[in-house]
Amino acid sequence: MEQLEVQNPVVKKQLLDVQPRELKFIFEVKKQSSCAVHLANLSDHYVAFKVKTTSPKKYCVRPNIGVIKPKSTYDFTVTMQAQKSAPSDMQCKDKFLVQSTVAPFGTTEEDITPDLFAKDSGKYVEECKLKVSLTSPTQSPVLSPVNGVSKLEQSPASEISEEKLLTRVENLPPLQMVLTSAKVEENVLLPTKMGKLICDRDVEYRPLDVVDGTKLKFSRDVEELKSKLITLDSELIQAKSNITKLTEEKSCAVEEKQTLKRELATLRRKTGVRTVERGFPPLFVCMVALISLTVGYLLHG
């Protein structure tokens, strides 16, 4: 695919409106939790976006890249993987970064490359940071009194119309895990586990569009080994069947050989008896000889 050459126009206003700015997850041990994010294109241009996070192994974003047409909206879902234990004080320091930039007319998701969001040659890349907060099941949803009656208070994400959500769900690409890294350059101080302060530009954001090649290769190798094992098992069964068949044929051949031997012996015995019956007895021969001598003597006498 040929790389698109993007000539960003001079951007004088905000490209995307991102809501909510704080992702609220209902945290339960060993259970997943999801949060929807709504993007609105405020410009008259095609806008491409990409989502990054500081904890790529903890979250899944679907889709993590996309293109929004002018004056249109787009929704994506962030899913927090099941955790074995709850963090202390239910505090979460994870962050998300939504990068957006102007794209050429007619750009599709297949045309999006990492170079599209590179901050070089004066290209404008808008960035929006999203915080993460955790709430327990007993704290969500929040009840707020309205005219003296308790009413469920909806979050900005829940205000998205069902029609929009259903429309976006149909076009969701496969689940993509976050793996590689990128960095954000802004001087915002963040607390660390050691109680020190670090600059936000040192916080590592990792894109969600690359899958771990090693894991995929290992999975393919396992599947290939399973396939070979199944093939060997089938060949072994076929070989056993052939051996059994040959053994049976050998037994039949031995039996036929023994039968032929018996028949041959019987024929030989019958042939010998017939030969004896066709010859002259010795007594008969002696009598004939004696008579012949007597007749000869009388004739010459």
- Same structural domain, 44 and 118: yes
- Residues forming beta bridges with residue 67, ordered by sequence position: 48
Please give the model's pTM, rounded to 2 decimal places: 0.46
Boundary (domain end) residue, out of 211, 229, 256: 211
Q: What is the pLDDT of residue 221?
A: 84
In a domain, 2, yes or no: no
Q: Does 159 share its domain with 223? A: no
Strands 95-103 and 126-135: antiparallel
| 235 shares a domain with 110 | no
Mean pLDDT of 24-35: 92
Task: Please indicate, yes or no, whether residues 166 and 36 belong to a single structural domain of this protein.
Answer: yes
pLDDT at 137: 84
Residue 11 in this model has a pLDDT that exceeds 70: no
Which residue segment(s) compose the domain that 262 sits in? 212-301
Residue 8 inside a domain? The answer is: no
290 and 181 in a common domain: no
In a domain, 9, yes or no: no
pLDDT class of 213 with cuts at 50, 70, 90: low
Same domain, 241 and 294: yes
Whether 6 is in a domain gets the answer no
Strand partners for 199: 189
| Domain end point (choices 173, 189, 211) | 211
Report the C-alpha dihedral over residues 8, 13, 16, 21, rounded to 10 degrees. 140
* Same-domain check for residues 145 and 59: yes
Last residue of a domain, one of 186, 211, 236: 211
191 inside domain: yes
**pLDDT range class, residue 143, cuts 50, 70, 90:** very low
Are both 136 and 187 inside the same structural domain? yes
- 10 in any annotated domain: no
For range 28-32, the mean pLDDT? 90
Q: Which residue has the higher pLDDT, 78 or 174?
A: 78
Quote the pLDDT of residue 123. Answer: 83
Please check whether residues 43 and 88 belong to one and the same domain: yes
Given a cut of 70, whether residue 60 has pLDDT beyond it is yes
Q: Residue 155 falls within a domain, yes or no?
A: yes
**Which of the four pLDDT bands, split at 50, 70 and 90, describes residue 80?**
very high
Same domain? 219 vs 203: no
Residues 175 and 259 in one domain: no
Question: Do 116 and 47 form a contact (C-beta atoms < 8 A)?
Answer: no
The answer to whether residue 1 is domain-embedded is no
Considering the domain architecture, whether residues 185 and 285 belong to the same structural domain is answered as: no
* Percentage, residues of the chain above pLDDT 90: 37
Residue 55's domain is classified under what CATH number?
2.60.40.10
The number of distinct structural domains making up the chain is 2
